Amino acid sequence: MIETNDLSKQFNNDFWAVDGVTLNVQPGKILALLGQNGAGKTTTVRMLTALLRPTRGWARVAGYDVTKNPKEIRSNVGVLTEQHGLYMRMTGEEYLDFFGNVYGLDPQARKARSDYLLQYFGIAEAARRRCGEYSKGMKQKLALARALMHDPSVLLLDEPTSAMDPESSRLVRDEIARLRSSQRTIIICTHNLAEAESLADSIAIIYRGKVLLNGTLDELKRIVLGPVEYEAKFARNFDAGKLDLPPGVTLAACSADCLRFRIEVPQAANPVLVHTLTSRNAPLVSFQEVPRKLEQVYLKTMADAQGVTYAA
């Protein structure tokens, strides 16, 4: 579990890299931290790994306080850093063995875990080659294997699929999802919004050190983009005239063969609305939610934060 309250970090006595971040990630959940470069994501992760001491506020990771129990935290956290951090003159096998040793695994456990991870990520054949000879994707996989080497209960992953080909990205995403199902607590820092959308249980958008938004994807969409929109398509032109809309439903857009509604509580309003349309003999072909992506939420939030107009 990861819990933070008013977590803040000031550098050089004048620059707040992270300012009042409050988060809560339960075991078996994934939080995606989104934000521009320099927004404070890495600094937040470094505080959660007990690498940086918070200037204000507190954080507990895997049940330990980041200022009081740094060693325990580091033993229980697996970190994938922004840069892969491989030793180029070591082989993949040696690299994993070294970190297994650092995390206190005995030689047999190291060998077994390293073989499994190398096999899982499809780099077993390159295990005896030096890391300097690996492709970008292979390096990223090996770095991820390192983070998983001691089977940590908390994972902090900075750009886990950057530089990976689509198949490898999928493999890593699957592995992250599998780790979630085994009750790991996971934070992912990413610029890949599709990845965040597909993996994260909750999303926090961070801007200049402050968390602007934090919640599930649906909550964020509702907060930023407003109520859900549904679109009714008709087989031919349909004159809606004066529709008697149920409470919590407003007409958002209207064309000859299509109507778009903004609906506060779809579960309650949709059956009534569909009934209203069909009772007016509307030649209804489809009635479905207008897809809204995380990208829209993110871009609008950023535009609002910067005081510029969001062009949808």
Partner 1 sequence: MRHNLSAIWMVARREFTDQFRDWRIVVPMLVLVTVFPFIADDTTRQAVNFMNRYGGSIILDHLIPFVVLVIGFFPLSFTLVVALESFVGEKERGTIEPLLSSPLDDLHLYLGKLLVGISTPLVFSYTSIGIYLLLVSRREVAFPSAYILALVLLLTFAHAVLMVSSAIVISVQATTIRSANLLASFVVVPVAFLLQGETFLIFWGNEDVLWFAIVGVTLLAALLVRLGLSHFRREYLLGREIDTLNFKVIGRTFRDRFKGQAESIFEWYRIELPLTLKQLRQPLMIVVGIAVIAGIASYLWVVANVPTYLDLSPERLTRFRTLIADNLVNLDEQLPAAPILFYSNARLIVISLLLGLVSFGTLGLALFIGNVAFWGGLLGGAQLVGYAPWLVFVTGLLPHGLFELPAFFLATAAMLKVGAQLVTPQPDKSLGEILLLSLADWCRIFVGIVLPLLVTAALIEIYVTPQLIKLAFSP
CB of 299 to partner 1, least distance (A): 27
Closer Cβ to partner 1, 154 or 259, answer by number: 154
Residue 71 or 242 with smaller CB distance to partner 1: 71
Identify the bridge partners of residue 262 per DSSP, sorted by sequence position: 229, 250
Task: Give min distance, CB of 220 to partner 1, in A.
Answer: 30
For the bound state, the minimum distance from the C-beta of residue 147 to partner 1, rounded and expressed in Å, comes to 8
Rounded to whole angstroms, the Cα distance separating 264 from 270 reads 10
For 239, 242, 257, the CA distances from 232, given in Å and listed in that order, are 13, 16, 8
Give dist(CA 130, CA 86) in Å, integer. Answer: 10
* Residues ≥6 apart with Cβ < 8 Å to 255: none
From the number of C-beta atoms within 10 Å of its C-beta (0-12, 13-18, 19+), residue 89 rates as exposed
Least distance from C-beta 17 to partner 1, angstroms? 9
Return the number of the residue (76 or 301) whose C-beta is nearest partner 1: 76
Q: Which is nearer to partner 1, 186 or 277 (CB)?
A: 186
**Least separation, in Å, of the C-beta of 98 and partner 1?**
6
Rounded to 10 degrees, what is the CA torsion of 16, 85, 51, 66? 110
Q: Which is nearer to partner 1, 187 or 249 (CB)?
A: 187
Q: How far is the CB of 25 from partner 1 (least distance, A)?
A: 18
The closest alpha carbon to 39, from 170, 174, 153, 191, belongs to 191
User: φ, ψ for residue 34 (rounded to 5)?
Assistant: -110, 155
The two tokens of residue 37 are 């470069």
Q: Which two tokens stand for residue 117?
A: 């991870």
Instruction: Give Cα 11 to chain centroid, integer Å.
Output: 26
Rounded to the nearest whole angstrom, what is the least distance from the CB of residue 18 to partner 1 in the complex? 12
Q: For partner 1, which is the closer residue by CB, 208 or 222?
A: 208
Residue number, 87 or 112, with CB nearest to partner 1:
87
Q: Which residues bind partner 1 (CB under 8 A)?
A: 11-14, 46, 49, 51-53, 71, 74-75, 77, 79, 81-90, 94, 98-99, 101-104, 143, 146
Classified as helix, coil or strand, 275 is: helix
